[in-house]
Chains A and B, each alone.
Chain A
Amino acid sequence: MARRIRGLSDRAIAWIFVAPTIVLLLAVNIFPLIWTIRLSFTNYRANRPNAEVSWVGLRNYERILTDSDVWLTMQATAHFLFWTLFLQVLIGFALAWLINRKFKGNDLWTTVIVLPMMLSPAVVGNFWTLLYQPQIGVFNHVMAFFTGADPQQFSMIGDVNLAPWAIVIVDTWMWTPFIMLICLAGLRSIPDSIYEAAECDRASQWRQFWTITIPMTLPFLMLAVLFRGIENFKMFDLVVQLTGGGPGNVTTLTSIDLKREAFEKWRTGFSSAYAVILFVTVFGLASIYVKALNKVKER
């Protein structure tokens, strides 16, 4: 093969192919990021393009980090993240493990379980708002059946103590199938020969589970947790539809708060600083997590 095509080196040709992607990346990702960081040090408001923009130094960051309401939204987000991931991993893995065992109709069950994931979050939010309705909602009546409580005496999305759990339940209902599918892929990737060898070594079912199943599906599980973690950190539509961030602000997650600051109050500079803080947090946590994931994969 000739090293040059019409006078262009291989390196030049490579650059020609890569350049559009780099330009796009710079325009869509890098430039907005740098611009956001710049705006975070100003009092700019996007709805007042003609107003004078002042450099405010670190004031926006200081305000965010000393604002008790922001910390409350961080707490609400951490609660939502922890419990959704915990429950989804637990139930998702259990479902995958059950589905992986050969039984009649397991394909049908897989389809049924996966259905919630295919719905729009706005639809799911509306649907569960009705289910949680104390007078006509099925959820309260089911709970009442098991606990003997009066269904009209508790409101899942109207009670400050129950509302955070209401959103955890819905997100778990909707996204557990995602974890299940990834775990199922992991379980099905384990060669039967490993289990056969363990059988020959007379390893118990329990020992096979802990020494073969868990370690070999762990990278899949961790990947699923990474995806769901990032998604749930950004969770917006489902929660807005279900609770609107209330009652009070117990379900106001950071994404909801950020949207209000940026596109309702139009405090663009302030919300840019907010976004930078969230970006650094997610980026930092995700980097640590990915390192851990790589170590697990190397084992």
Chain B
Amino acid sequence: MKSAKLLAAAAFTAASGLTVTNAHADDLTLCWAAWDPANALIELSKDFEEQSGHNMSFEFVPWPNFADRMLNELNSGGELCDLMIGDSQWIGLGAEAGHYVKLNEFFNAEGISMDDFIPATVAGYSEWPKGTPNYWALPAFGDVVGWTYRKDWFERPELQAEFQETYGRELDVPATLEELKDIAEFFQGREIDGNTVYGAAIYTERGSEGITMGATNALYNYGFEYGSPDNPYILDGYVNSEGAVEGLEFYKELYDCCTPPGSSNWYMSETIDAFKSGQVALQMNFAFIWPGVHADPNVGAEKAGYFPNPAGPAGQYAQLGGQGISVVSYSDSQDAALEYIKWFAQPEVQTRWWELGGYSALKAVVEDPDFESSQPYAKTFLDSMAIVKDFWAEPAYASLLIPMQERIHNYVVADQGTAQEALDGLVEDWTEVFEDEGKL
């Protein structure tokens, strides 16, 4: 009798426990790219699972296929993703095609203020139309193109002396793009520790967005603008301005003079490999790689240094990367997804996010007095985030990106035509896209 009572009590407890769990727990799937920060997010999200009772699943797709896979998912109204950390350029499409839930009301209700985030990340990852307070994402991962360099090579006395003699200045972090090219040229083909090394690993990838994300770091700094300040769709004279042409010529010169042989189709992973294998003195890459570089036993810690994209004649800018986190409008678990965003926006969670290797965009984290000394690359990250510019976030961004990839690659890598022809052609391509879009 006693055991029967115990069994009944256990059954009741189990049943009521299940009932409670089923009433509140949702299965949430978060979609993002497959890269190091995604692993950090899995770790971070364990706390959310514990606190909320929701189960988190993750769908990560490698970068080269990320846009294809995830935009297909969104365009088909797929219910796979409840939360999407989509690329910054997708915001326009996500908003206008109804893929993302507008978050203004939710932010107001929960006291989440966009003023608490780095302005560039709000503009880059959350707003659509740009410059208006309409928010479709919470800044999730701040990222920007910057440079990694072989600090240990720079510090070698014999190399310092030779550089001083050749260029009349110290071998140090470059202040301008021209200085960067000098350094890359200096290291190109040099023998260091018995190995032939090269100047710089830069973005040249043709298939997705690589060469655009690389070349813009020169274009912006030489005077390239996406359009007229009065009308962003007036392109002629801005996209193909004299400065823009010089910027593109600079990028080609850098590719021709100072990159490793065979680097004609390189993006994030190839440049990381080149740096980690000790092939190059300088590496262009998004800031997300810096924790991995720092931790690398061969080239990390004291051997590596970091600096923001150097200035050009028209100013100092860097290509924005990074993403915001959005709630997918086709999700059946929107409330739970919003709960995740509310949790993620908390300062203590954002602090932990930075500690785990995620790049927080919350001012409370990055403006903390201890932030700059928290990691060797923290200051470079902050300095870089202050100079960002981003590619079009128009709904037709892919139609704008593909011709830019083609035009730039044709000129820089395939050596076809001139920089002026490439940019004039780009103006034609983009004009046609905007005409089709009814914006011209």
Chain A partners chain B: yes
Interface positions of A (Cβ within 8 A of B): 43, 46-50, 69, 132-135, 137, 152-153, 155, 157-160, 240, 243-250, 260, 263-267
A250 in contact with B207 given A50-B98, A155-B261, A260-B402 (CB within 8 Å): no
Cβ-defined contact, A263 with B265, below 8 A: no
Residue of B nearest to A246 (CB): B206
Residue of B nearest to A129 (CB): B265
Taking CB atoms and an 8 Å cut-off, the chain B residues in 394-412 that contact chain A are 395-396, 398-399, 402, 406, 409-410
B369 at the interface (CB under 8 A from A): no
Please report the C-alpha to C-alpha distance between residue A266 and residue B97 in the assembled complex, in whole angstroms. 13
B241 at the interface (CB under 8 A from A): no
CB-CB under 8 A from A249, the residues of chain B are: 406, 409-410, 414
Cβ-defined contact, A246 with B264, below 8 A: yes
CB-CB under 8 A from A158, the residues of chain B are: 261-265, 413
CB-CB under 8 A from B265, the residues of chain A are: 157-158, 243-244, 246-247
Cβ-defined contact, B406 with A47, below 8 A: no
Interface with A: B68-76, B103-111, B325-333, which one?
A: B68-76
Contact with A along B267-279 (1 / 0, CB 8 A): 0000000000001
Cβ-defined contact, A134 with B262, below 8 A: yes
CB-CB under 8 A from B260, the residues of chain A are: 135
B416 at the interface (CB under 8 A from A): yes
29 A–B contacts from the bound complex (CB under 8 Å): A49-B97, A134-B261, A135-B279, A137-B262, A155-B262, A155-B264, A158-B261, A159-B264, A244-B206, A246-B206, A246-B264, A246-B413, A247-B264, A247-B265, A248-B206, A248-B406, A248-B410, A248-B414, A248-B416, A249-B410, A249-B414, A263-B68, A263-B72, A264-B398, A264-B402, A265-B396, A265-B399, A265-B402, A267-B436
CB-CB under 8 A from B262, the residues of chain A are: 132-135, 137, 155, 157-158
B93 at the interface (CB under 8 A from A): yes
Residue of A nearest to B274 (CB): A135
Please report the C-alpha to C-alpha distance between residue A43 and residue B437 in the assembled complex, in whole angstroms. 10
CB-CB under 8 A from A263, the residues of chain B are: 68, 72
CB-CB under 8 A from B398, the residues of chain A are: 264-266
Question: How far in angstroms is the closest Cβ of chain B from A40?
Answer: 16
Contact with A along B60-87 (1 / 0, CB 8 A): 0000000110011001000000000000
CB-CB under 8 A from A245, the residues of chain B are: 206-207
Closest 5 CB pairs of A and B: A248-B414, A158-B264, A244-B207, A246-B206, A248-B410
Among B68, B97, B206, B396, the residue within 8 A (CB) of A247 is: B206
CB-CB under 8 A from B75, the residues of chain A are: 46-47, 266
CB-CB under 8 A from B97, the residues of chain A are: 47-50
A160 in contact with B416 given A135-B260, A244-B265 (CB within 8 Å): yes
Interface positions of B (Cβ within 8 A of A): 67-68, 71-72, 75, 93, 97-98, 205-207, 260-265, 279, 395-396, 398-399, 402, 406, 409-410, 413-416, 436
Please report the C-alpha to C-alpha distance between residue A49 and residue B406 in the assembled complex, in whole angstroms. 28
Most buried by B among A46, A134, A247, A249: A247
CB-CB under 8 A from A69, the residues of chain B are: 406
Residue of B nearest to A260 (CB): B402
Residue of B nearest to A267 (CB): B399
Cβ-defined contact, A250 with B414, below 8 A: yes
Among A49, A157, A247, A267, the residue within 8 A (CB) of B409 is: A247
Question: How far in angstroms is the closest Cβ of chain B from A274?
Answer: 14
Question: How far in angstroms is the closest Cβ of chain A from B410?
Answer: 4
Cβ-defined contact, A264 with B68, below 8 A: yes
CB-CB under 8 A from B410, the residues of chain A are: 248-249
Question: How far in angstroms is the closest Cβ of chain A from B93?
Answer: 7
CB-CB under 8 A from B98, the residues of chain A are: 50
Please report the C-alpha to C-alpha distance between residue A78 and residue B395 in the assembled complex, in whole angstroms. 34
Most buried by A among B68, B207, B264, B396: B264
Residue of B nearest to A52 (CB): B438
Most buried by B among A134, A246, A263: A246
Question: How far in angstroms is the closest Cβ of chain A from B77?
Answer: 8
Among A153, A247, A264, the residue within 8 A (CB) of B261 is: A153
Cβ-defined contact, B261 with A246, below 8 A: no
Among B93, B406, B436, the residue within 8 A (CB) of A43 is: B436
Question: How far in angstroms is the closest Cβ of chain A from B409?
Answer: 5
CB-CB under 8 A from A133, the residues of chain B are: 262
Residue of A nearest to B260 (CB): A135
Question: How far in angstroms is the closest Cβ of chain B from A237?
Answer: 12
Residue of B nearest to A248 (CB): B414
Please report the C-alpha to C-alpha distance between residue A248 and residue B398 in the assembled complex, in whole angstroms. 18
Cβ-defined contact, A244 with B413, below 8 A: no
Cβ-defined contact, A248 with B413, below 8 A: yes
A135 in contact with B261 given A243-B206, A246-B206, A265-B402 (CB within 8 Å): yes
CB-CB under 8 A from A240, the residues of chain B are: 207
CB-CB under 8 A from A243, the residues of chain B are: 206, 265
CB-CB under 8 A from B71, the residues of chain A are: 47
Most buried by B among A47, A137, A159: A47
Please report the C-alpha to C-alpha distance between residue A248 and residue B68 in the assembled complex, in whole angstroms. 21
Please report the C-alpha to C-alpha distance between residue A159 and residue B93 in the assembled complex, in whole angstroms. 36
CB-CB under 8 A from B263, the residues of chain A are: 158
Question: How far in angstroms is the closest Cβ of chain B from A100?
Answer: 40
Residue of A nearest to B208 (CB): A244
Please report the C-alpha to C-alpha distance between residue A246 and residue B406 in the assembled complex, in whole angstroms. 9
CB-CB under 8 A from A159, the residues of chain B are: 264
Cβ-defined contact, B415 with A160, below 8 A: yes
CB-CB under 8 A from B409, the residues of chain A are: 246-249
Residue of A nearest to B414 (CB): A248
Please report the C-alpha to C-alpha distance between residue A182 and residue B261 in the assembled complex, in whole angstroms. 40
Residue of B nearest to A155 (CB): B262
Question: How far in angstroms is the closest Cβ of chain A from B234?
Answer: 22
CB-CB under 8 A from B402, the residues of chain A are: 260, 264-265
Please report the C-alpha to C-alpha distance between residue A263 and residue B263 in the assembled complex, in whole angstroms. 27
Question: How far in angstroms is the closest Cβ of chain B from A244?
Answer: 3
